[in-house]
Chain A
Amino acid sequence: MADTFEIQGLHVNIEDKPILKGVDLVVRKGEVHALMGPNGSGKSTLANAILGHPKYTVTGGKILMKGESLLEMDTDERARKGLFLAFQYPCEVPGVRQSNFLRLACNARAGRELDVMEFYDKLGQKMKVLDIDEKFMKRYLNEGFSGGEKKRNEILQMMMLEPEFAIMDETDSGLDIDALKVVSRGVNELRGPGLGILIITHYERILRYINPDFVHILVDGKIVKSGGSDLAAHLEEHGYDWIIKDAEPVSAPAKGR
């Protein structure tokens, strides 16, 4: 229990429209899971709902982290407990310096004022792994960043905050091959027994660099197939159509709803 992130029968609406219709998923520390699915299947909804975005209403089910229910917690509390989301479209916050923001966030996560020198040492190391220039820290949070810079910044934050469970929402979208390699290098460095990762992606491409232990396919708000990393390769070759057809018989309403 202490090492699991567990989603049980999760139902989520946007306004009154059901998007997730009973998702079950267990991620243990040390594992990398990939969640794939066609556009509109509910992948990003899942990511946002897990962090408690106010636009997404959970209408049923549970989200448990280390046995503790997240649904009653505010977004910031979930984050301080060790949950992280790398955003598909990171937000620009003008006038807020990267370095100030990161320090405040790291202090919040640690629950204490971190030593300034230690913080900057660590920051320097992580920036090196991600090929991030020093000047970057003086800039305002994501303001005027290219798509690639924003994604790299997400991984930098993830490396600094040292989450126990991380969700990466389409981190690969909009990245060229070099940037993808850099980002993957960062994720692979983080990979280990203390971290469970859920990679949300439309394409198999990123999974060539970050090899998942498990692959799940989300179609129309439900996980319709789970397997090993070979499932991703199969998808790349055959597309989603065969699975959607395959999935039809089980798309009946979830039990108990």
Chain B
Amino acid sequence: MSTALPDQVLRGAYKEGFHDDIKALRKVAKGASHEVVDYMCDVKNEPDWMRQFRHRSLDLFLKQDLPAWMPGLRDIDYDAITYYMSPVDKSANRWEDVPEDIRRTYDKLGIAKEEQKLLGGLGAQIDSEMAYHNIQESLAKQGVVFLSCDDGLKEYPEIFKEHFAKSIPPEDNKFAALNSAFWSGGSFVYVPKGVKCDIPLSVYFRINAEQFGQFERTLIVCDDDSFCHYVEGCSAPVYTTHSLHAAVVEIFVKDRARCRYTTIQNWSTDVYNLVTKRAFLYKNAVMEWVDGNLGSKRTVKYPSCYMVGEGAHGEILSLASADKGMWQDAGAKLVFYAPNCTGRINSKSISGHGGRASYRGLVQVNEQARNCRVQVNCDALILDPVSRSDTYPVMEIDGDLATVEHEASVSNVSEEQLFYLMSRGVKKEDAVSMIVNGFIEPIVKELPMEFAVEINRLINLQMEGSVG
């Protein structure tokens, strides 16, 4: 099998790799400093507790070392990064009020205004700040709150403070500390008791600046018996330098509520994507992470469900595609603190053109979590001999009567499958694409339609010339 594929084919395939000249209204000097923290607190006009929290987080970040198992991040030059930069000073809630040059960028990305019609709400972040955030009137009338995280802090200080950094404290890991120090933008979502928000709330994150750090923070609270589906997408220009994306997403799914969080990560291969995502599940709550990783230079991300209430169900569907120059260290965590809970992880990865995909998973059943059931499936498809796949599953089971199933498989595109499809007149490249798309189908079918189409398109582009 030949693996030769010219660089420009892949570069050309990443249609989001352009950058626009957008004037920064606010910009700080490079480097992670306490001065930057103070500047941000000043321009954002934040309460003192947040200022203290940011400073404390920065100290933690500077002090903390990388865990030994997290390789491939040593060459990040933190001093070369700009930690806060924004072309806007406020989030508009009418598309016409978004500055024209930013609208142009979003038009090119296809985040057209029309898309709002299919959505319960739409948010658009560029660099450090949300340029746009709006929610459908019908949802707003029912009390659904969908704001930038900064506006959430201002307008709903009590709900905000009650939950903020409670599932992911800055002590959790180096990048959670980094985010806690410099967080800006992201979403604040509150769904009141019993309200079903059945059309998705969608947010698009765009990095436009070079050597930049984007640290959005998202806080979602689904109150008792409510439902919401939050969808996020992202992209960045192709430069020759590196950028950093270190987000923190905290979700609280209260009694009997259900939340689904869908991510289609499509960063350019300039971006280090180091994200902490965690949901707390209360009594009989349901949380579903649908996590698609298609881009970035390096992704370190393990969406987690912490079952803190009895009878909760946590589910993580993870899809990673590692193309040339990428290392997707994706996975999932299920942590059980309460009895009679269930959890499921379904992970699929594809690696080609020398890309590397790793599954890193944790299933932890604590002593008080009796009678829990867990099912883990992870399947890897390796397209050529220069690509790589690893699996690092960790299981810590202390609770009684736990049922834990773990299945893993590694496969190639088989000669027999190719021959079978080709014997029906299907061209080889179409046959490969069919097999690969079939492999990820169990996850893709969970995605909203337009995302499913986009994923299939991206995967097909990445697969071009990878088997042959």
Contact = CB atoms under 8 A, between A and B. Distances in A.
Interface of A: 51, 53-55, 74-76, 78-80, 84-85, 87, 90-91, 93-96, 101, 104-105, 108-109, 140-141, 157, 161
Interface in B417-468: 417, 419-428, 430-431, 434-435, 437-442
Nearest to A80: B425
A79 B435 contact: no
B445 to A, nearest CB: 9
B424 A96 contact: no
B415 interface: yes
Contacts of B442: 95
23 contacts: A51-B423, A74-B422, A75-B419, A76-B423, A76-B431, A79-B422, A79-B423, A80-B425, A84-B423, A91-B420, A93-B434, A95-B438, A96-B434, A96-B435, A101-B421, A104-B426, A105-B426, A108-B427, A108-B430, A140-B438, A140-B441, A157-B424, A161-B424
B422 A94 contact: no
B416 interface: yes
A200 B441 CA distance: 36
A158 B84 CA distance: 63
A76 B428 contact: yes
A237 B465 CA distance: 54
Pairs of residues from A and B, 5 with the lowest C-beta to C-beta distance, nearest first: A95-B438, A95-B441, A108-B425, A79-B425, A91-B420
Interface of B: 414-417, 419-428, 430-431, 434-435, 437-442
A101 B428 contact: no
B424 A93 contact: no
Given A96-B438, A161-B425, 12 more contacts: A51-B419, A76-B423, A76-B424, A76-B426, A79-B422, A91-B417, A91-B420, A93-B420, A93-B421, A95-B438, A95-B442, A96-B434
A203 to B, nearest CB: 24
Contacts of A55: 415
Contacts of A74: 422, 428
A105 B424 contact: yes
A75 B427 CA distance: 9
A90 B425 contact: no
Given A51-B423, A96-B435, A104 B430 contact: yes
A95 B417 contact: no
A79 B424 contact: yes
Contacts of B430: 104, 108
Given A94-B438, A94-B439, A95-B442, A76 B420 contact: no
Contacts of A54: 415, 419
Contacts of B419: 51, 53-54, 75, 91
Contacts of A95: 437-442
B422 A76 contact: yes
Contacts of B417: 91, 93
Contact of B434 (A84, A87, A104): A104
Contacts of B441: 94-96, 140
Contacts of B422: 74-76, 79
A108 B430 CA distance: 10
Contacts of B421: 93, 101
A11 B407 CA distance: 44
A93 B431 CA distance: 10
Contacts of A78: 423
B201 to A, nearest CB: 29
B416 A91 contact: yes
Given A95-B438, A104-B430, A109 B425 contact: yes
Contacts of A80: 425
A157 B420 CA distance: 12
A55 B438 CA distance: 25
A54 B434 CA distance: 20
Contacts of B415: 54-55
A94 B420 CA distance: 13
Contacts of A140: 438, 441
Given A95-B438, A95-B440, A108 B426 contact: yes
Contacts of A104: 426, 430, 434
Q: Which of A53, A76, A140 has the most CB of B within 10 A?
A: A76
B129 to A, nearest CB: 40
A78 B426 CA distance: 10
A14 to B, nearest CB: 14
A108 B440 contact: no
B430 to A, nearest CB: 7
A90 B420 contact: yes
Q: Which of B419, B428, B430 has the most CB of A within 10 A?
A: B419
Nearest to A81: B425
Contacts of A76: 422-428, 431
A18 B437 CA distance: 38
Contacts of A87: 420, 423
A257 to B, nearest CB: 28
Contacts of A141: 438
A101 B434 contact: yes
B423 A85 contact: yes
Contacts of B431: 76
Nearest to A110: B425
Nearest to A85: B423
Contacts of A51: 419, 423
Contact of A105 (B416, B425, B438, B439): B425
Contacts of B424: 76, 79, 101, 105, 108-109, 157, 161
A93 B438 contact: yes
Nearest to A111: B425
Contacts of A90: 420
A93 B426 contact: no
A93 B435 contact: yes
